[in-house]
Structure 1
Amino acid sequence: MGGTVYGDRAAAAIQQVTSLLDSAGVAPEKTQELLALIQAGALEGAQGDVLELAEQPPEKSAAPALHGWVAAVQAAAAELAHIADRTIARARPAARPTAPAALPAHSSSTPIDEAPQKQVEQVLAMAERIFTELTGRTDYSREASLEILPVVLTAIAAEDQADYIAQLEAFATRNRDWLAELYRKYGPGGDLAELDRSGLTEQPESIVICERLDAAPLWLQGVWDGESEGSMLERFAQLWKFGCDTPRPPQPSKAR
């Protein structure tokens, strides 16, 4: 009964919001995408509530029953994430012209078309060292790193490229506990590994992606959309921003 009531109210609310946005001159496809984002966000919230159930098994549960409870909760949470992704995918046009990468709002930021190979190798070496220290793993795909990292590095201003390795190391030191929890929970073998369908927690370049998600998320999204599947970054960004419980230290202000 409750589902039907809320379903009817939701349908009426969607119709009202659609009418209001239409009156305001918002394009129908944009309205659908906005509504889909709201719906997907609600699903993400529900996913968090479901995951909390894993820590609240029925009282006096035997070990096999407890394992089954946790597995069922994780499966339900994963399916909610799948539904959220499908909700967004259905609302977006099948093909969309590539938009120029969104630069940070700083007049002194100079974009680059391509990161020098030497820079790619040096940043990857630093990322590999940090990743191995945090995870103990060396079984990542370096080939995949050499495909993804050059794209990510174009979201760094030309003026910042020379000092970026030091910036990345400082970022990893500052956020070490948060990064460690991210890989422990969502990386291979983690309790919630099935929730990371991006595959990025398996790769050292994910550290660079995390740093850019903090420093220049719109710029990163812009360069990423031109080269890779957008949902991969979106899913990983959700894990990075909201998937860990470790307190994060204050983040430095963006000087540039």
Structure 2
Amino acid sequence: MDAGDEGRQQLDAVSILNARQTLIGYLGRAGLFAGDAEELVRIVEAGAVALAHEEVGAPGRDAPRDRGEPYAAGWLDGARAVTGELGELAEGALREALTAVPAAPAGPPPPVRTMEVERARVAIVPLYLSFTEVSDLDPEVSEQVLVAVLATMDPRQRAGYAGRLAEFTSGHRARLERLYARYGPASPTAIHGRYSLLHSPTSIAVLERLWAAPGPLEAEWDTGELPPAWLEGLRRGWEEAGA
């Protein structure tokens, strides 16, 4: 085997499966239930295939211009075939990943799981820090707030909540910047109780729900016995930042 072949060699299926099971084992020893660990790994696997499909189909991957038209036509046909096949694999991987996520029941959503709270927590922190700084006044109710937020969604919506949050912050970036500048940790109203939740990364999640599902959020907020003033403060600040 020459150096080029050695550099191109790939992991075999047995080694990949071994690595997968090792990861699930580590997650289990860290306290994650086996089903939750399997779900996380499947979502990561599906995401890897989806991102590969997006990369292969990205614009700018044209045939070399100095090879002539027949070469370019063959290149295009091959690219379409590969992209189509990879797209089908991506869709299949996503369907397989979501089989671990229960379908939405006819009644109310099931209780929020610890893993769902942790996934939301991982998603909100970098988004929050893109608008403001860490605050020493972060209310110590992060888990209760996230439970109220996630309880407004069914399990499949919770599984895709990180993407929904990213879309929300991207689509409303200027308004969020104004909101945190006026009422966030570095603002003159930093210690005002009405805006206390803006000192917590959970405010990003609450704002998204206020925008997308205010009624269900208010109901879950009452159920969780969270301070009504916090929700009203976010609502008022959001309205003022949009003016």
The answer to which structure, 1 or 2, has the higher relative contact order (CA under 8 A, 6+ apart) is 1
Amino acid at match of 1:120: V
Instruction: Say which structure is richer in helix.
Output: 2
- Provide the aligned C-alpha RMSD in A: 2.5
Partner of 2:175: 178
Alignment of 1:150-161 (within 5 A): 150-161=147-158
- Do structure 1's residue 207 and structure 2's residue 204 form an aligned pair? yes
- Do structure 1's residue 231 and structure 2's residue 219 form an aligned pair? no
* TM-score between the two structures when normalised by the length of structure 2: 0.51
Partner of 2:142: 145
- With over 3 angstroms needed to count, the CA separation of the structure-2 counterparts of 1:116 and 1:234, relative to structure 1, is same
Using the TM superposition, give the Cα deviation of residue 205 of structure 1 relative to its aligned residue in structure 2, in angstroms.
Answer: 0.6
Amino acid at match of 1:136: E
Kindly indicate whether the alpha-carbon contact (under 8 Å) linking 2:175 and 2:241 is maintained by their aligned counterparts in 1.
yes
- With over 3 angstroms needed to count, the CA separation of the structure-2 counterparts of 1:192 and 1:243, relative to structure 1, is farther
Kindly indicate whether the alpha-carbon contact (under 8 Å) linking 1:186 and 1:194 is maintained by their aligned counterparts in 2.
no
Kindly indicate whether the alpha-carbon contact (under 8 Å) linking 1:149 and 1:205 is maintained by their aligned counterparts in 2.
yes
Partner of 1:100: none
Kindly indicate whether the alpha-carbon contact (under 8 Å) linking 1:140 and 1:204 is maintained by their aligned counterparts in 2.
no
> In structure 1, which of residues 115, 119, 134 is the aligned counterpart of residue 116 of structure 2?
119
Using the TM superposition, give the Cα deviation of residue 175 of structure 1 relative to its aligned residue in structure 2, in angstroms.
Answer: 1.1
Kindly indicate whether the alpha-carbon contact (under 8 Å) linking 1:111 and 1:158 is maintained by their aligned counterparts in 2.
no
The residue matched to 1:156 in structure 2 has which SS?
Answer: coil
Partner of 1:128: 125
- With over 3 angstroms needed to count, the CA separation of the structure-2 counterparts of 1:186 and 1:118, relative to structure 1, is same
The residue matched to 1:211 in structure 2 has which SS?
Answer: helix
Amino acid at match of 1:182: L
Kindly indicate whether the alpha-carbon contact (under 8 Å) linking 1:183 and 1:201 is maintained by their aligned counterparts in 2.
yes
Q: Structure 1 stretches of 5 or more lacking a match?
A: 1-106, 247-256
The residue matched to 2:159 in structure 1 has which SS?
Answer: coil
Counterpart Cα distance in 1 of 2:181 and 2:119: 26
Identity %: 28
- With over 3 angstroms needed to count, the CA separation of the structure-2 counterparts of 1:109 and 1:177, relative to structure 1, is farther
Using the TM superposition, give the Cα deviation of residue 192 of structure 1 relative to its aligned residue in structure 2, in angstroms.
Answer: 4.1
The residue matched to 2:241 in structure 1 has which SS?
Answer: coil
Matched residue count: 139
Residue by residue over 1:69-126, the C-alpha shift from the partner in whole angstroms, topping out at 9 and shown as x without a partner, is: xxxxxxxxxxxxxxxxxxxxxxxxxxxxxxxxxxxxxx98863242111111111111
- With over 3 angstroms needed to count, the CA separation of the structure-2 counterparts of 1:122 and 1:139, relative to structure 1, is farther
Partner of 1:34: none
